[in-house]
Amino acid sequence: MTESIYVGVDVGGTSIKLGLVNGEGNLLGTFEGPTGTEAGSEVVLQNITEYVRKLVDQSDYDWGQVAGCGLGFPGFMDMSSGIVRFAPNLRWTNVPVREPLEHILQKPVRINNDANVAALGEAWAGAGKGIDDLVLLTLGTGVGGGIIAAGKIHEGYNGMAGELGHIQIVPDLEAIRCGCGQKGCLETVSSATGIVRMAQDALERGEKTALGMEPEVSAKAVLDAARAGDEVAIRIVTRAGYYLGRTMSMLAVILNPQRFIVGGGVSQAGDILFGPIREAFAKYTPPAIQEGIDIVPAVLGNQAGVVGAAGLLLRS
């Protein structure tokens, strides 16, 4: 019997990444091409099918071995009907994906949200391998989230579960307005954007810090400065970590995951971020619930998306 393989597709606004994955979640080959967003959804779907065929053609595997194709999209979607409801980066509203792709590829197709798919990737073959209940928090421009429960993505009733960046964790007194319209969302303090904003605020207040030396403050600059001992930078990263830890406390009593995985660029900060996360989590989580839970960095990086998308065929 020949081995079944799975195609995972990570659709972004500028590029589409693909991976060929085996039944254990190992990456056997990759492909990347432009999305072609400006040409409209039909062209994007054509590009996807073309890239899928190229990925398989370039590999040592036959088309007949492909058991299906999973796709992760940035935005909101109806997973069961396979329709992308709203994807601002692609300028899509109500674009059917599953049906047309199944028709063209003649293979089962699954779609899901990109943050959910990344969580599934880490759960299947990354930092959560072998663990059925986990939460991924991805620290980037915003804070993305994905919940894996009993080995599967927790989707919610209309696919909007896991919007963990919009947990209102910052107390009203010190909360600022988030892009979502609410105040005090986790991503106002723990995303790259949040870290940059806190640094700019410190500079505007005239605080003594090495950060001002750079022409533009980046999250990486703040993390580097914190590691180098800059007190203002340390305070900012500690605050980002503190609210992540408190959010995890809250998630732990609600979801009881076995592991929290922190991904995204900011997560590469290391102990300077994970220290405050773990400290706040230990302080604010009831001991009985805290027991046996760990907090670890993601390991798959950009590949979590394609691996997890391929995993949709096996785990949804």
Q: Which parts of this chain interact with its own copies (CB under 8 A)?
A: 76, 131-133, 145, 147, 149-150, 152, 154-164, 166-168, 171-173, 180-182, 246, 249-251, 253-258, 284-289, 292
**110 CB contacts (<8 Å, ≥6 apart)?**
68, 69, 70, 71, 79, 82, 98, 312, 313, 316
Note the residue count of the chain.
316
**CA angle, 305 as apex, 303 and 308 as ends, to 5°?**
105
Residue 159 C-beta: closest distance to its own copies, Å: 7
Quote the CA–CA distance of 60 and 273 in Å, as a whole number: 42
Residue 58 C-beta: closest distance to its own copies, Å: 37
Task: Name the residue nearer to its own copies (CB basis): 98 or 246.
Answer: 246
Task: Name the residue nearer to its own copies (CB basis): 164 or 269.
Answer: 164
Task: Name the residue nearer to its own copies (CB basis): 38 or 291.
Answer: 291
Task: Name the residue nearer to its own copies (CB basis): 19 or 128.
Answer: 128
Residue 156 C-beta: closest distance to its own copies, Å: 2
Question: What residue ranges in the chain does DSSP mark as E strands?
Answer: 5-11, 15-22, 27-34, 66-73, 76-78, 83-87, 92-96, 109-113, 134-139, 143-149, 152-153, 259-263, 294-297
Residue 81 C-beta: closest distance to its own copies, Å: 15
Q: What is the CA radius of gyration of the chain?
A: 20
Q: Are 187 and 165 in contact (CB under 8 A)?
A: yes
Q: Which amino acid is at 84?
A: V
Tell me 273's DSSP state.
H
Task: Name the residue nearer to its own copies (CB basis): 207 or 279.
Answer: 279
Residue 118 C-beta: closest distance to its own copies, Å: 17
Task: Name the residue nearer to its own copies (CB basis): 171 or 229.
Answer: 171
Dihedral sign for Cα atoms in the order 260, 256, 186, 85: positive
Residue 185 C-beta: closest distance to its own copies, Å: 9
Residue 117 C-beta: closest distance to its own copies, Å: 16
Task: Name the residue nearer to its own copies (CB basis): 179 or 270.
Answer: 179
DSSP assignment of 70-136 equals: EEEESSEEETTTTEEEEEGGGTEEEEE-HHHHHHHH-S-EEEEEHHHHHHHHHHHHSTTTT-SSEEE
Residue 154 C-beta: closest distance to its own copies, Å: 6
Task: Name the residue nearer to its own copies (CB basis): 47 or 116.
Answer: 116
Q: Is 136 exposed, middle or buried (0-12, 13-18, 19+ CB in 10 A)?
A: buried
Task: Name the residue nearer to its own copies (CB basis): 143 or 226.
Answer: 143
The strand pair at 5-11 and 15-22 is best described as antiparallel
Residue 135 C-beta: closest distance to its own copies, Å: 9
Q: Are 216 and 250 in contact (CB under 8 A)?
A: no
